[in-house]
Amino acid sequence: MNICELRVKYRDILDMPLMKYDTMRAALHQLIAENESDGRKGIVQVLDQARKKIDSIDAEIERVRGMMYFENKYPDAELIAGIDEVGRGPLAGPVLTAAVILPKGLVIPMLNDSKQVSKKHREELYDVILSNAVAVGVGMNTAAVIDEKGIEFANKDAMRQAIRNLGVTPDLLLVDAVHIPEVDIRQVSIIKGDAKSVSIAAASIVAKVTRDRMMQEFDEQYPGYGFKDNVGYGSAAHIEALKTLGPCPIHRRSYIRNILEQ
């Protein structure tokens, strides 16, 4: 095999889908075994890259397994739902929550707090989560509800919606940083849970991607505010547009009052 063919084969291996990490690792080991007796400089460089990739795969699997501490802490709970929200702080759009039940022990590489994951990888993870989850539920409340009843009520009510929309009753809830009232299911609140629990991390990805897609649709419905880029948050351009255009129906009046009075 010449160097060009080896590089193409190596790139093809790296292009394998996210959940094919075991197949990728095996293919890399095979690539090394088939070519390690070749001392040409270009071949040696590619094989060194392959070895480093294997190490990175192993490290990532270990990292994700480390995020299963809370899931493994409760062996009596068969169905564990992670719950997270997105959209507490924006000037516009809904607060949205997700509840996700993953199969116990499922390793999803790159799974992490949605804020630590690039948009491209969030989209990929979203598809993987929906394809592999035992159940997924989403809940939301609009700007009107936030204005009328406050963000705390809107957020926790959206969490209750997400739990109901799972379609199954979890044995345990792992929740990022809050306690959800009026829920008769055992729950554990975890500070920075989206970085410590695979279930909460999965919920954070689903919530983030779902809300971002909604804001892209709102950008077409209410042009001029840059919703597809700022997803409702108070960027300088968004605030300037608010002063120029005034609020649209999805703006939170309770959040923008001071801006409009300036």
- Provide the whole-model pTM: 0.94
Mean pLDDT over each residue of the chain, to the nearest integer:
96
Place of tokens 């999803």: 108
Mean pLDDT confidence for 206-211? 98
Nearest CA among 79, 97, 103, 86 for reference residue 167: 79
| HEC per residue, 123-179 | HHHHHHHHHHCCEEEEEEECHHHHHHHCHHHHHHHHHHHHHHCCCCCCCEEEEECCC
Could you give the domains of the chain? 3-66 (no CATH), 69-209 (3.30.420.10), 217-261 (no CATH)
pLDDT in tens, 72-107: 999 999 999 999 999 999 999 999 999 999 999 999
φ, ψ for residue 117 (rounded to 5)?
-120, 135
| C-beta of residue 122 within 8 angstroms of C-beta of residue 115 | no
Given a cut of 80, is residue 262 above it in pLDDT?
no
Mean pLDDT confidence for 224-241? 97
Place of tokens 């080896």: 6
pLDDT in tens, 179-189: 999 999 999 99
Per-residue pLDDT at 35: 94
Given a cut of 80, is residue 1 above it in pLDDT?
no
